Structures are given as structure tokens and as C-alpha cells.
Amino acid sequence: MGCRNMQRNRLQKSKPTRRESAKKSSRESRRGASDGRARLLDKLKSYFQNHGQLLLRTFQRLAAEPAQTLMTSLVVAIALGLPAALYVGVVNLQHLGSRVETTAQLTVFLKKEATEVAVDQLRESLLSESDITAVDYISRQQALAEFQTLSGFGDVLAMLDENPLPPVLIVQPADQFQGDLVASETLVARLKEWVLVDDVRLDMKWIQRLQGMLEVWERLAFSLGVALALGVLLIIGNTIRLAIESRRDEIVVVKLVGGTNAYVRRPFLYTGIWYGALGGLLAWLLVALGLQWVDGPVERLAGLYQSIFQLQGLGFSGLLALIFIGAVLGLIGAWLAVARHLGSIEPK
């Protein structure tokens, strides 16, 4: 009996308790989760290392063929540079237009025979109108003096028997007319009905025409960009197709040893990215050189008009944008070419 009790006690001591079993299973689960995270990190590390090596290897392959790489990249650069140059031109014209007064100011030319008293009465009548906020008067003598100073023909004008310039009223409409060409033209028609008024000119009209032209050029730049982007896809796609055909035997060997289509596809995708990125960089350089070439004449022309206008380039943000757009277009073009031609290459 005593022997049986001793054996039973030994068995009970040898059996683990529930708490000990739970602790052991918890440690094992944590160890398994830690091992799983480590394996996942190793896979991610290996994945990014593989992509980094392919990125460097494709660049080295392109650098080994500088003539072909430069020619393809230049074609891409021209396709990207044309809409970029047009965009720069539109931006500079917008900047030039923003420096000019864009209010709906009216220049009212009065008849030469208008007396000072009649002009003062007309000015008071205009100021009483709710659509007009200010009226400035420029007499014939003031207009002649300003014209002699600004035109540089003072000696010629001094030879005239009489002053050929009429008196002028500078009319400032109310706020609701600012930027509204239709309402301003209606006000012009009303002012022309006054007896002393000879003609009325709307100073804002050419600004409105400039803005309309800029809108047309913006849409033209966008349309040209879309068309040339398709051209970039075709250029890079055709280049990648030729690269696939030249490496057909290598692709067959890789597939024989178990290489998947995704593995074979990666170098060609990175090649397309490199072509597009290099094309974007060269496009930025071409636009910068073009602006540098015309900057001198533009600066001299602005000096003749007593302006300090300077051309604005794409800048660093434009460089990044062109490289990114080129890389994306290169990736898409390479993907389309690989998807079309890689599947037909299979080991026999």
C-alpha cells in the first residue's frame, strides 16, 4: 500500500500542472510569432535587395551602351520638353499679365472745343452716377506735356501750331465692373451718348484678350502633352521590345531553371523607368538652355519698356516633376511591351 502511494506521488510530481502547460504554450506561441516576424523581415529585406540590385544592374547595362541610351533618352526628352516649354511660355505670359493693372478703367476722350466749365459740369454729373466711383481730369496742356516727356518727340511737337490732343477724363467704374467685360462695355456705350464725349476706350479689353489667348494656349499645351505622352509610350515600348528580342535566349534559359514571368519582367521595367527618368532630366536641361538663350533679348526688350520683367523657368520642382512623369511613362510603356511580348517566349 505504501509503495502504491509513493508511485502515485511520483506520477503526480512528474505531470505538469495546467498553469505550467499554459506558460509553456504561451512561450512557444511567442517564439513562433517572433520567428514568423523574422522570416517576414528576411523576405522583405531580400525583396528590396533584389530590386536594388536590379535597379543598379539595369543602369550599368544602359551605361555600357551610351550612344543608344542617349539617343533614346533624347527622343523622350524632346517629347517631354515641347509641352514643358509651352507651359513655361504660358506661365511667363500669365506673370506678365498679372503685373499690369486689370481694373476696368475707362479713358473718355472729350471734344477739343469743350470748355473748362463744361468739362467740370460733365465731371460732376459723372460723379453723381452710382456706377462711377472716381473721375480724374487731364487737360489738353497736361496731356501734351506728358506726351512730350514719354514719347521723346518734344522738339517735333513744339513745332506744331496748335495742341492736337483733346482733354481726357479717366473714369473709374464701381466694383461690380471690375473683371466684367460685358458690363464695362455697356457702361462704355452709355458714356458715348454724352454730348461732350468724342470717344471712350476700355483699358481692360486687351487684358481680357490676353487672358483668352492664355486659356487657348493652356489647352493647347495640355493636348500636346497628352499626344506626346502617347509618343513616349510608343518609343519606350518599342525599345523594350527590341531589348526582349535581343535577350530571347537568356529569357528561355531563365525560364528553364524556374524563373517566373515576374522575375524576368523586372529588369525590363527598370530599363523603361531609367529611359523615362533620363528623358525627363534631359527635357529639363533643354528647356533651361532655351530660356537662357532667349533671356538676353527678353531682358533688353523689357528694358525698352522700362520694365524689370524676367523669364521664369521650371525650377527644382519642375525638374522633379519631369523626372517623375518620365519615369511613370517609361514604366507604363515597358509594362505594355513586356506584357505583349514576354508571354510568347517559352522553352520548347
Residue 321: inside a domain, yes or no? yes
Residue 252: inside a domain, yes or no? yes
Which of the two residues, 35 and 2, has the higher pLDDT score? 35
Both 199 and 213 in one domain: the answer is no
Residue 156: inside a domain, yes or no? yes
Q: Give the pLDDT mean for 222-240.
A: 86
Domain of residue 141: give its range: 106-203
- What 8-state DSSP symbol labels residue 260? -
Per-residue model confidence as pLDDT tens digits over 269-297: 888 899 999 999 999 999 999 888 887 77
Both 250 and 221 in one domain: the answer is yes
Q: Give the pLDDT mean for 248-271.
A: 78
Residue 42: inside a domain, yes or no? no
Max CA distance (Å), the chain: 151
Q: Give the pLDDT mean for 129-153.
A: 74
Residue 262: inside a domain, yes or no? yes
- What burial class does residue 93 get, using C-beta atoms within 10 Å of its C-beta: 0-12 exposed, 13-18 middle, 19+ buried? middle
* Dihedral sign, Cα of residue 135, residue 141, residue 146, residue 147: positive
Contact 314, 288 (CB under 8 A): yes
Q: Which of 203, 237, 252 is the last residue of a domain?
A: 203
Evaluate if residue 174 carries a pLDDT over 50.
Answer: yes
Model pTM score: 0.62
Report the pLDDT value the prediction gives residue 18, as an integer from 0 to 100.
Answer: 55
For residues 346 and 252, give the distance between their C-alpha atoms in angstroms, rounded to a whole number.
Answer: 6
Domain count along the chain: 2
Which of the two residues, 101 and 337, has the higher pLDDT score? 337
Strongest mean pLDDT among 24-38, 70-84, 308-322: 70-84
Residue 115: inside a domain, yes or no? yes
Q: Band of the pLDDT at 29, cuts 50, 70, 90?
A: low
Evaluate if residue 115 carries a pLDDT over 50.
Answer: yes
Q: What are phi and psi of 173, to 5 degrees?
A: -70, 175
Q: In angstroms, what is the C-alpha Rg of the chain? A: 39
Both 218 and 280 in one domain: the answer is yes
Both 278 and 310 in one domain: the answer is yes
Q: Which of 152, 179, 203 is the last residue of a domain?
A: 203
And the C-alpha cell for 216?
Answer: 487657348
Q: Band of the pLDDT at 253, cuts 50, 70, 90?
A: confident
Residue with cell 525599345: 239
Both 331 and 251 in one domain: the answer is yes
3-state secondary structure of 251: helix
Report the pLDDT value the prediction gives residue 277, as an integer from 0 to 100.
Answer: 92
* Dihedral sign, Cα of residue 335, residue 338, residue 341, residue 347: negative
And the C-alpha cell for 139?
Answer: 487737360
Q: Band of the pLDDT at 87, cuts 50, 70, 90?
A: confident
What's the CATH code of the domain at 164?
Answer: 3.30.70.3040
Strongest mean pLDDT among 90-104, 212-226, 319-333: 319-333
Both 63 and 121 in one domain: the answer is no
Both 160 and 224 in one domain: the answer is no
Both 337 and 223 in one domain: the answer is yes
Q: Are strands 106-110 and 197-202 parallel, antiparallel or unpaired?
A: antiparallel
Residue 12: inside a domain, yes or no? no
Per-residue model confidence as pLDDT tens digits over 118-130: 888 888 888 887 7
Q: Which of 184, 203, 222 is the last residue of a domain?
A: 203
Average pLDDT in the chain: 76
Both 326 and 217 in one domain: the answer is yes
Beta carbons within 8 Å of 347's beta carbon, 6+ residues apart: 252, 255, 256
Which region among 123-132, 179-188, 317-326 has the lowest average model confidence (pLDDT)? 179-188
Report the pLDDT value the prediction gives residue 153, as an integer from 0 to 100.
Answer: 60
Both 318 and 186 in one domain: the answer is no
For residues 168 and 187, give the distance between their C-alpha atoms in angstroms, rounded to a whole number.
Answer: 17
Residue 333: inside a domain, yes or no? yes
Q: Please give the sequence-ordered ranges of beta strands (E in DSSP) within 163-305, or none if there are none.
A: 168-173, 197-202
Both 86 and 189 in one domain: the answer is no
Q: Give the pLDDT mean for 62-78.
A: 87
Both 194 and 66 in one domain: the answer is no
For residues 52 and 58, give the distance between their C-alpha atoms in angstroms, rounded to a whole number.
Answer: 10
